[in-house]
Amino acid sequence: MVNVIGLGYIGLPTALMMASHGVEVVGTDYNSSLVATLNDGKTTFKEDGLDELFVEALKAGIKFSTEYQICDTYIVSVPTPYDKLDKKIDPCYVVSACKTVLEIAPEGAVLVVESTVSPNTIDRFVRPLLVDAGRSDIKLVHAPERIIPGNMVYELLHNNRTIGADDPEVGQAVAQIYASFCQGEISVTDIRTAEMTKVVENTFRAVNIAFSNELAKICRIGGMDVAEVIRIANKHPRVNILNPGPGVGGHCIPVDPWFLVGDYPETANFIRLALQTNASMPEYVMHRTYEVMVEHGITDVSKVGIYGLTYKENVDDVRESPTLQMIESMSQHLCSGSMKIYDPWVEWDEVPGQVHSIEEFLKDIEVVIVMVGHSQIKNNPSIFGDRILIDPCNVCGDGEKVYKL
Ligand SMILES: NC(=O)c1ccc[n+]([C@@H]2O[C@H](COP(=O)([O-])OP(=O)(O)OC[C@H]3O[C@@H](n4cnc5c(N)ncnc54)[C@H](O)[C@@H]3O)[C@@H](O)[C@H]2O)c1
């Protein structure tokens, strides 16, 4: 039996996927209201295909509990934030979950850390727990996850995976569990390589996004259309520049690369600069909005509305979102209070000024900052009428009143 610890964006779909492919699974989370919701037959976040997968897993007998289970394999999928000051990983959730596992795990159990961790985290923070608990029988594995919200179910089935283990045979055994559903290639390696690989993948994305964001700024100063420049440059057989945007959010790309900066502060300069460039984008959009307001003689901030609160399109995940970063930056300039904000995916009240219908949002608004290209508006800017659009995601097409980055 597998006990998946932490039933959030990663743990829940993983548990459901395993259960619906014949693995006996109990999902555990210490959040009792989350467990109660699952036991009531409801999922806890919106994701394409998740409800269908949930039904399959229930049929297959998955159970949810606030209690850790006695079983042979534990998969820990709890948060791994970073310390905002020193940029290093904060392993407290992983440490706490692993400690509890060690209290009840039977002899020879496998402890898989699926949470994203910086290189050496398992050696520095998890292995000593085994020593302290006198549990040298426990087999440690790291199995980082790569799925993207919005396409999780497909990617769980089709992505390649990495398994890092001290003992290659244990690595292969864990690979077999994941192979119950994963049709991608599973690379088995050692733990540190698996840790580093995951962080490197997100760092690769961060630096490439930063490059396109910097290009957007250069093209703005030089009076060039960055989208057209990138479109043509990408015709080169070995060039593949990403799209610039209003910033980077979510739980991975703006977070994980900081682990390398925190651990290698003298060396990871290029990565630090990339992260700073991405982090500068929400404020850049704010300045761009101000320029456009001046151009149109608009001085009243309450005429400006923000569309989109999530960190990417068609998900309800707002963590580290560029809009939240922009609101934070505005509040430092004492000007966020009067702005209306709307996101069709965020049905709860996340921030002051938020409204819950597009009609209410657009009332008395002259300028819309389109921070997220949800399918509600993608290539359908007519929903905004003849308002001025600030379009850092480049999803509103061309028009006299559409302003790109
Ligand atoms: N969200 C993503 O897109 C994504 C993608 C790849 C990897 N990851 C990584 O996966 C890990 C999990 O991220 P997430 O997005 O699922 O986080 P999350 O915050 O959505 O979920 C974590 C869950 O763990 C529970 N939890 C925390 N400590 C616990 C404990 N000691 N015992 C039991 N339950 C506990 C919380 O209640 C929460 O429900 C992180 O390391 C993250 O970096 C996330």
Same domain, 213 and 311: no
Closest CA to 393 of 159, 377, 40: 377
45-68 in b/e form (b: 16+ CB < 10 A) is eebeebeebbeebbebebbbbeeb
Say which of 252, 303, 340, 396 is annotated catalytic.
252
Same domain, 256 and 290: no
Same domain, 34 and 183: yes
Tell how far the Cα of 79 is from the centroid of ligand 1, in angstroms: 4
For residue 205, what is the domain's CATH number?
1.10.1040.10
The tokens for 298 are 């608009």
Mutate to test the pocket of ligand 1, among 3, 4, 5, 9 (most ligand atoms within 8 A of CB): 9
* Structural domain ending residue among the three candidates 256, 277, 298: 277
Same domain, 89 and 206: no
Classify residue 126 by its DSSP letter.
I
Same domain, 296 and 379: yes
Same domain, 262 and 137: no
Same domain, 74 and 37: yes
Beta-bridge partners for 19: none
Closest CA to 81 of 259, 210, 299: 259
**In 223-334, which ranges are continuous DSSP H helix?**
226-233, 256-263, 269-279, 281-295, 322-332
pLDDT value of residue 61? 97
Q: Whose CA is nearest to atom 20 of ligand 1?
A: 8
Same domain, 326 and 392: yes
Residues with CB under 6 A from ligand 1: 5-11, 28-31, 34, 77-80, 93, 96-97, 115-116, 145, 147, 149, 250-252
For residue 373, what is the domain's CATH number?
3.40.50.720
Same domain, 33 and 180: yes
Say which of 63, 139, 198, 303 is annotated catalytic.
198
Taking each helix axis from N to C end, the angle separating 50-59 and 11-19, rounded to the nearest 10 degrees, works out to 50
Concatenating the DSSP letter of every residue in 314-355 gives T----TT-HHHHHHHHHHHTT--TT-EEE-TT--S--STTEE
Strand, coil or helix: what is 244?
Answer: coil
User: What is the Cα–Cα distance from 176 to 181, expressed in whole angstroms?
Assistant: 9
Q: Is 198 tagged catalytic?
A: yes
Same domain, 33 and 177: yes
Which amino acid would we find at residue 274? A
Strand, coil or helix: what is 203?
Answer: helix
Tell how far the Cα of 260 is from the centroid of ligand 1, in angstroms: 20
Beta-bridge partners for 109: none
Average pLDDT over residues 38-65: 97
The tokens for 222 are 């030089």
Tell how far the Cα of 136 is from the centroid of ligand 1, in angstroms: 26
The predicted-structure confidence for 124-171, as pLDDT tens digits, reads as follows 999 999 999 999 999 999 999 999 988 999 999 999 999 999 999 999
Over pLDDT 90: what percentage of the chain?
90
Residue with tokens 């159990």: 109
* Structural domain ending residue among the three candidates 147, 165, 189: 189
Closest CA to 154 of 133, 117, 190, 183: 183
* Structural domain ending residue among the three candidates 253, 277, 301: 277
pLDDT value of residue 80? 93
pLDDT value of residue 335? 64
The whole domain housing 292 covers 280-403
The predicted-structure confidence for 389-403, as pLDDT tens digits, reads as follows 999 999 999 999 999
Tell how far the Cα of 29 is from the centroid of ligand 1, in angstroms: 10
Confidence of residue 220 (pLDDT cuts 50, 70, 90): very high
Q: Is 252 tagged catalytic?
A: yes
The predicted-structure confidence for 92-106, as pLDDT tens digits, reads as follows 999 999 999 999 999
E strands of 35-152, at which residues?
63-65, 73-76, 110-113, 139-142
Same domain, 273 and 284: no
Same domain, 172 and 36: yes
Average pLDDT over residues 300-321: 94
pLDDT value of residue 122? 97
Q: Whose CA is nearest to atom 7 of ligand 1?
A: 145
pLDDT of 342 higher than 70: yes
Helices (H) and strands (E) in the chain, counts: 15, 14
The values of phi and psi at residue 390, to 5°, are -95, 120
* Number of independent structural domains in the chain: 3
72, 1 in Cβ contact below 8 A?
yes
Confidence of residue 69 (pLDDT cuts 50, 70, 90): very high
User: What is the Cα–Cα distance from 114 to 135, expressed in whole angstroms?
Assistant: 20
